[in-house]
Structures are given as C-alpha cells and as structure tokens.
Amino acid sequence: MEKYIYQRENWTDFTWDDKKISVLLAQVRNLQGRLLGKMTSLGFGYQDEATLENITLDILKSSEIEGEKLNKQQVRSSIARRLGIEVAGLVNSARNIDGIVEMMLDATQRYENPLTEERMFGWHNALFPTGYSSGYKIDVACYRKGEMQVVSGAMGKEKIHYEAVKTEDIKSEMDKFIKWINSENKKLDSVIKTAIAHLWFVTIHPFDDGNGRIARTISDMLLARSDESKQRFYSMSAQILKERNKYYDALEEVQHSLDSDITIWLEWFLNCLKSSLLASERILLSVLKKADFWNRNIKVIFNNRQIKMLNKLLDGDFRGKLQSSKWAKFCKCSQDTAIRDIKDLIEKGILQQEQSGGRNTNYELIQTQ
C-alpha cells in the first residue's frame, strides 16, 4: 500500500492550484524586485555590508534549525575574509565554521554553476569535516548506506513521521533530481522551481545527516539564480526557523498526500519567502544607519578599540548597558584605557552618558535624525 508521495509512479509530476498561488507569487516577485532595486541603487560598500549581514544570518539560523548554535563573530569573520570585505574586529574561525561558510558561498557566489553529485558531496564533507555528527560516525561525502526514518517520542512510544526513499533507489532518484535542477524550463517560474527543489530533495533525504541544511543551501543557490545576483539581501533560513513547526507540518502533509498536488507546500514556501523579504527591510535600515554613521564621521580619528566597539553597537550585537568595565573586557584593555576611550568619544559627540542614573555609569550612542 502506498504510504508516501515517492511510492507512487511518476511521483515528481507535481501539480498545484495556480489560482491559489498566483497572487502570492506576484507579491513575492514584487518584493524581490523592490528590494533588489533599492540595494543596487546603493554603493558597493553598502551592498557588501548587507550581503555580509544576510549570509551571516542565513548560516546561523540554518544551523540553529538543527539545534546547533554557531559563534556569530566567527561566522561573520570567515565570510568577510572569503568575500574580501574589509570589516573591523575580525576573529579567527573554527574549521567547522569555515566549512559551512565555504558551502554557502559556493552555492550563492557560484550560483550559475551546475549542481552535480560531486559538488553536493563537497558540501556534505564541509558540513562534517571530522566524519562525525553529535558523536556518531556517519557516511560523509556519499549517499547514505542505511534506511532513514524521521521519528519523535520516547523510547517504546516512538512515532514515525516519515520513512525516506529506500537506499537502493537514492542514486537513481538523485540523478533525476540533479538533471531537473540543471535543466531549463521557461514555463516554470524560478521561485516555484526553488520551492519544488526543496521539497523534492528532503523527500529523497539522500544523506546520513545534514539533509535540511543542504536543502536550504540548494534553495539559496536557486534564489540567487532567480535574482541573478551574488549579493544576498534576505535570509530564507531565518524565517524558516521562526516558522519551524509550520515548515514540518507542511512537509508532513505533502509526504502523506494521496496525489502529487503540492499546493499546500507552495503556499507555505511562498508565504515564508514573502516574510523573509519583508524582514530584510529591517536589516537594510540597520546597514544604511551604520553606513550613514561612518560617512558622517569620516574625518573623525578613532583608535582600533573604538572602531571595534562602535561597530558592535551599530550592529545591535551589544548585550545590556555599555559600561567602562564591559568596554575593558571586550577590547581586552585596562579600565583606565576604557575610560579614556569613552571620554574621547563623548568629547567627539559620539557617545553620551545615559540619563537613567543608577549605581553604574552607562553610556549610549547619540542618535541623530
């Protein structure tokens, strides 16, 4: 008895209700155009900064979906070095982070390159450079050699949500998938193609681990193709993390459907992409605010510690109140040096003492209109 979508003959002959998705697709296309228009009207420096912020966010959130929290500064530094973007306060990055960054940049900066088995194996190897995942040895840089189930619940009360494509069928299914990805179909909108590719790949579930992250990487590659741009101004993974439960619900519903109608999945995907495009407006404002600050203060002389701390404040990464003790700790300097740095910025009209008072003296950026 057929239990999952892939068990039917010609299961990838997907169908959907055009009336239900046409309005959504038009809204997404309009937002994409507006965002790209705004960004391309800005200088390359601003575009690089926005790209850096969005790729950083995408990598952090894609890993977070899998329960892995990466160091933001390491991710940001690794991306900046590889893209040749000059930013203050670069730090050394761990091997696993460099691997994830390499995978994402290969997908988005070389989006026009065909997707191949070898390329995906390279991504998989970058995700698991030690050959282990959560302490378990896994098959790396090759398709899985065992069966795959998605299970939840306590031992003895497990619920099987999904059983992936059988091992012996993976190679033929992936060959078909890769051929479709690289083929041109002028009748199929590239955003719809991205949504189908994501669903198709996770249905096959070809790897021992990392299927979700590679599915999202393929999505990012296809969205870059859709935008015809290496610059990334929005993050799909950040939005998927916010909608994680709806994401899994939509996937599960389609996997168990009685036909190849994927309207439910396309509606969810387009809504998610629409939300990520709207959310990017906030990041864009942050980038512009930061760029405006440095443009206004282009003739002001700052030391490296001040540049490092100001960037942290402008990026919104600073937690809690700014105090001289936190400055000293972050900049790895003495308390006296921290106080001198802060007083210098107050005299230059950059910082001011907070009015709230209290036992400790707090400082904040002077906001300009």
CATH of the domain at 357: 1.10.10.10
Assigned domain for 296 exists:
no
CATH of the domain at 281: 1.10.3290.10
Let me know whether 20 and 107 are in one domain: yes
Let me know whether 275 and 313 are in one domain: no
Residue with tokens 């490092």: 308
Assigned domain for 298 exists:
no
- The answer to whether residue 1 scores a pLDDT higher than 60 is no
Domain boundary among 290, 321, 353: 290
Assigned domain for 295 exists:
no
pLDDT at residue 282, as a whole number: 76
DSSP 209-234: S-HHHHHHHHHHHHHHHHHT-S----
Residue with tokens 């057929």: 2
- Based on its alpha-carbon atoms, the radius of gyration of the chain, rounded to whole angstroms, reads 23
Q: Please, what is the average pLDDT of the chain?
A: 91
- Of the candidates 186, 146, 141, 140, the one whose C-alpha atom is nearest the C-alpha of residue 163 is 146
- Of the candidates 73, 70, 67, the one whose C-alpha atom is nearest the C-alpha of residue 59 is 70
State if pTM tops 0.75: yes
What is the band of 140 on the pLDDT scale with cuts at 50, 70, 90? Answer: very high
Assigned domain for 297 exists:
no
- Pick the most confident of 153-157, 192-196, 315-319: 192-196
Let me know whether 197 and 320 are in one domain: no
- Of the candidates 187, 207, 182, the one whose C-alpha atom is nearest the C-alpha of residue 197 is 182
Q: At what angle do helices 117-127 and 95-109 cross, to 10 degrees?
A: 150
- The answer to whether residue 2 scores a pLDDT higher than 70 is no
Tokens linked to 207 = 């790897």
Let me know whether 185 and 307 are in one domain: no
Let me know whether 173 and 198 are in one domain: yes
**Cβ(326)–Cβ(362) below 8 Å:** no
The predicted model gives 186-197 an average pLDDT of 96
**Cβ(78)–Cβ(92) below 8 Å:** no
Identity of residue 296: R
* Residue ranges making up the domain that contains 20: 5-290
**Cβ(302)–Cβ(310) below 8 Å:** yes
- The answer to whether residue 77 scores a pLDDT higher than 60 is yes
- Of the candidates 139, 165, 138, 136, the one whose C-alpha atom is nearest the C-alpha of residue 150 is 165
φ/ψ region of 134 (left if φ > 0, alpha if ψ in -120 to 50, else beta) reads left
Q: How many domains does the chain have?
A: 2
Among the residue ranges 27-36, 120-129, 139-148, 291-300, the one predicted with the least confidence is 291-300
Domain boundary among 266, 290, 314: 290
